[in-house]
Amino acid sequence: MSIDPTIKRLALVVGGGPAPGINGVISAVTIEACNRGIEVFGIEDGYKWLANGEALKAINEGIAKRGGEENFKWLVRHDDDLNPTHIVRLTKEDVKQVYYRGGSLLRTSRTNPSKNREHMDNVIELCKRMCFDAIVSIGGDDTAYTASQVYKAYKESGGYIRVAHVPKTIDNDLPLPGSTPTFGFETARHYGAAVARNLAEDARTTSRWYLVVSMGRAAGHLALGVGKAAAATLTIIPEEFGLDLETKKPKAIKIKQLTDILVGAMIKRHAHNRPYGVIVLAEGLIESIKDELKIILDNTGGKYGNYETDDFGHLRLGEIGVGNLLRDLLNERLVKPKSAKAARLHEMLGYAIEPVGISTTLVSKDLGYELRCADPIPFDIEYTRDLGYSAVKFLHTPQAMEFGAIIGFIDGGMKPMKFEDMLDPRTKRMQTRLVNIKGEGFQVAMEYMIRLEKSDFDDAKELRKLAEYIKKTPEQFRGEFGYLVGA
């Protein structure tokens, strides 16, 4: 098959959740493409309107009214009205001032056309109708998989299209070479740490505790980064409990173990006359306790949300009041008298909860949505310009005529990575980059946290101090909390 090496039209699409810097990629891709004489078209709301066929229908109607396929000058971007095609022509003038703004000029969605053959056919037909020679997609590993399937389906249909995917997530859990971050992470950590520091001062001033639940479905990078930068009292991430050898994911844990770690840290702080603190928890811990979580959600009448999944099969963590759930469970472990309903719930979970007798104010704070559309810090502004430029540059290389790629920017240079090398054909996802709990980065974090340690149980004076604070004997305290540290 003869392939035309020139690129005349390029489509830009954003999928998945927002991340600071999306507009930087959109800006850089558009400017570089326009500089190379390429027409750029932005797809609004991810693959939503392409998959359901509405964009194709509107384009066909527009062509019939306004001219043939060669005339798409009428796809002008407007902020004040709904574009029925959901496709807009982008110029340098449209994007020159958006690189420092949060959000997405093209908006985004989690629509997954690869799950439905008709939806994928709609996407391919639209791309052919618009005569797109190339696609730049921006998103996480789910959007990367969709991009790979568009590339594959296009070839299977007898056509050809170049595809470059720019990886983004504030979770920093995509397997880019070395310690290269995903764009958006540094900005999210920056603003997340500022929030946590403010809460730490409020906690000290008012003698209360804050439970901060940080986004990070599959890995604890953001939670750990926020906790370390804000000098949080304690940070807990899923990786610290070890990996399941079969699934390569963090091991499942019990709610009792999680709450006991939190209570142990609080006892230690209170016993040393510091009855306050900030605890940062990775939301991925909910995945680690999801068997018990389903029992709780099914038996609390929607108080904490419902057990729902998205188009990619992920548990919708945003639909669950993670912070409130953990706050209430922790309150029951501290001092709150158990109701008959609570007692029955714990009986279903398989263990009883005995309050330790600490009276304190506990406030939950979910941290994530306010970070995703923040204005990017200089690191991500520069980084996304590099990525956008590199995506267009890759599309003009001979390699782009041989394979679709995920674009990395490593040691100051572009690194295109083949879809088939990065995506697991079984899971349809990239391998998750987990926090290295054996590295110095995590060891430093542990050294600066306040939590029960084996040395607390080996030191008779310290053990007695902790035990007496909750009116226990040293032996009783060891029996209740010693399992956490192997004491």
- Nearest to 363, CA basis, from 277, 248, 434, 271: 277
Residues in the chain: 487
Given this model, what pLDDT does residue 305 score?
A: 85
Cα-trace Rg, the chain = 26
The single residue of 94, 171, 380, 386 carrying the catalytic annotation is 171
Q: Are 228 and 183 in contact (CB under 8 A)?
A: no
Domain at 187-372: CATH architecture: 3-Layer(aba) Sandwich (3.40)
Q: Judge whether 171 counts as a catalytic residue.
A: yes
Domain ranges of the chain: 9-182+376-430, 187-372, 452-487
Distances, alpha carbon 273 to alpha carbons 102, 204, 333, 460, in Å: 42, 11, 20, 19
Average pLDDT of the chain? 91
Compute the distance between CA of residue 296 and CA of residue 201 in angstroms, rounded to an integer.
Answer: 33
Q: Are 91 and 105 in contact (CB under 8 A)?
A: no
Helix (H) or strand (E) holding 166: strand 162-167
Q: Scan for tokens 């709609």, then name that residue.
A: 122
Question: Are 9-182+376-430 and 187-372 equal in CATH topology?
Answer: yes
Compute the distance between CA of residue 172 and CA of residue 44 in angstroms, rounded to an integer.
Answer: 25
Q: Are 147 and 386 in contact (CB under 8 A)?
A: no
Given this model, what pLDDT does residue 1 score?
A: 42
- Judge: domain 9-182+376-430, CATH 3.10.105.10: no
Output the pTM of the full model.
0.93
Instruction: Indicate left, alpha or beta for 209 from its phi (over 0: left) and psi (-120 to 50: alpha).
Output: beta
Low-confidence ranges of the chain (pLDDT < 50): 1-2
Helix (H) or strand (E) holding 414: strand 413-418
Compute the distance between CA of residue 55 and CA of residue 275 in angstroms, rounded to an integer.
Answer: 58
Structure tokens at 45: 């709301």
**3 state DSSP class of 229:** helix
The pLDDT tens digits for 29-52 are: 999 999 999 999 999 999 999 999
